[in-house]
Amino acid sequence: MPALGLTLTLPNDTIHREMPERTPPPITTLPTPDHSADEENVRLMLCVREGDVRAFERLVELHQRGVIGTVARMLNNQDDAHDVAQQVFVRVWRSAARYEPTAKFTTWLYTITKNLVFNELRRRTRKREVSIEAEEEEHHHEMVAASRLNPDTMVQQEELEAAIDRAIATLPEKQRLAVTLRRYEDMPYEDICKVLGMSLSAVKSLLFRARNDLKEKLSGYLEVE
């Protein structure tokens, strides 16, 4: 099951109501040549469209870390991030029967994520509290060579990452999502445009303003690229 322990409970009535009543082809019998990541995502999602629960579980395993990390940075709360991530993947399941591979799977997935996160932000009336400590354990932006760093360097890196997260948390929601998708998910500009429903020039302008704001807030640390 998923590496981060995201356990999805899909009600039986939802499965029967939303998915077509046909016997799905076993995922293990499908051709598995070398595919790009998106081709594999689409292949799995087409299996999900046919009712293949194992294909759905595999998609959760592949994408839950990115979805949870993105939602956590938007909501500043790890528990809420898991709750919204649950909703994201339940929405994926319920939408599977209508799924058509007209765009990248990740673009479709993060558009669902954006809609649910923005809805959650709009529902909130209480002041947001940034909880960096809760995010550090499952931080999406991991350092491959961290184990080889000396303690002082590791502390400095942790302080920098915490400062970056705090600074990102102060950005307006569209800027925050654009920066998160670009910095942590390495999403191309064209895909961010589709997720946000904005033109390329508008997204570049959005990121330009966000980066200038972050550079100002992080002037005491390393420069943000």
Same domain assignment for residues 118 and 158: no
Same domain assignment for residues 185 and 214: yes
Prediction pTM value: 0.73
Same domain assignment for residues 168 and 130: no
Average pLDDT for 63-79: 93
CATH code of residue 105: 1.10.1740.10
Cβ count within 10 A of residue 171: 20
Is residue 138 pLDDT above 80, yes or no?
no
Distance in angstroms (rounded) separating the CA atoms of residues 198 and 195? 8
Is residue 17 pLDDT above 50, yes or no?
no
| Residue at a domain's end among 81, 102, 137 | 137
Same domain assignment for residues 3 and 55: yes
Kindly state whether residue 143 falls inside one of the protein's structural domains: no
Is residue 154 pLDDT above 80, yes or no?
no
- Taken in order 146, 144, 7, 73, the sign of the CA dihedral is positive
Kindly state whether residue 224 falls inside one of the protein's structural domains: no
* Confidence label for 221 from pLDDT (cuts 50, 70 and 90): confident
Cα-Cα-Cα-Cα torsion 39, 199, 110, 159, nearest 10 degrees, comes to 110
Same domain assignment for residues 115 and 177: no
* Residue-range definition of the domain harbouring residue 204: 150-218
Same domain assignment for residues 38 and 125: yes
Distance in angstroms (rounded) separating the CA atoms of residues 196 and 206? 11
Number of helices (H) and strands (E) in the chain: give both, helices first.
10, 0
| Residue at a domain's end among 69, 102, 137 | 137
CATH code of residue 157: 1.10.10.10
Same domain assignment for residues 25 and 131: yes
pLDDT value, residue 18: 44
Distance in angstroms (rounded) separating the CA atoms of residues 155 and 102? 45
| Residue at a domain's end among 137, 167, 182 | 137
Q: What is the pLDDT of residues 73-131, one digit of tens each?
A: 999 888 899 999 999 999 999 999 999 999 899 999 999 999 999 999 988 744 444 44
Same domain assignment for residues 154 and 114: no
Is residue 143 pLDDT above 80, yes or no?
no
Distance in angstroms (rounded) separating the CA atoms of residues 26 and 29? 6
Q: Which amino acid is residue 219, in one-letter code? A: S
Find all residues with CB under 8 Å of 26, minimum gap 6, and list them.
Answer: 52
Number of domains in the chain: 2
Q: Which range in 27-41, 92-106, 161-175 is most confidently predicted, on average pLDDT?
A: 92-106
Same domain assignment for residues 125 and 159: no
